[in-house]
Amino acid sequence: MEVRDKLYIDGAWVVPERSETIEVFDSTTEEVMGSVPAGTPADVDRAAKAAHGAFGEWSRTSVAERTKFTSRISEALGARMSDIAALIAREVGMPLSLAMLIQAGLPIGTFASMSEIADQVAWEERVANSLVLREPVGVVGAITPWNYPLHQIAAKVAPALAAGCTVVLKPSEVAPLNAFLLADVVDEVGLPAGVFNLVSGTGPVVGEAIAGHHQVDMISFTGSTGAGRRVSEVASATVKRVALELGGKSANVILDGANLKKAVSTGVTMCFLNSGQTCSALTRMIVPRSALAEVEQLALEEAEAAKPGNPFEQSTRLGPLASAEQRERVRGYIRKGIEEGAKLVTGGPEAPPGLDRGYFVRPTVFSDVRSDMTIAREEIFGPVLSIIPYDTEEEAIAIANDSVYGLAGAVWGSDPERATHVARRIRTGQVDINGGSFNPLAPFGGFKHSGHGRELGRFGLEEFLDTKSLQL
Q: Report the Cα–Cα distance between both ends of the chain, in Å, rounded.
A: 61
Which amino acid type is present at position 321? Answer: L
Q: Which residues contact 56 (CB under 8 A, 6 or more apart)?
A: none
- What is the CB neighbour count within 10 angstroms for residue 49? 18
* Antiparallel, parallel or unpaired: β 364-367 and 384-390: parallel
Convert 156-179 to b/e letters by CB count within 10 Å (16 or more is b). Answer: bbbbbbbbbbbbbbbbbbbbbbbb
Q: List the one residue out of 346, 384, 17, 75 whose CA is nearest residue 209.
A: 17
**Sheet with 2-3, side-by-side order of all strands:** 2-3, 32-37, 21-25
- Active site positions, annotated: 245, 279
Q: List the one residue out of 1, 3, 87, 5 whose CA is nearest residue 38.
A: 5
d(CA 251, CA 430): 11
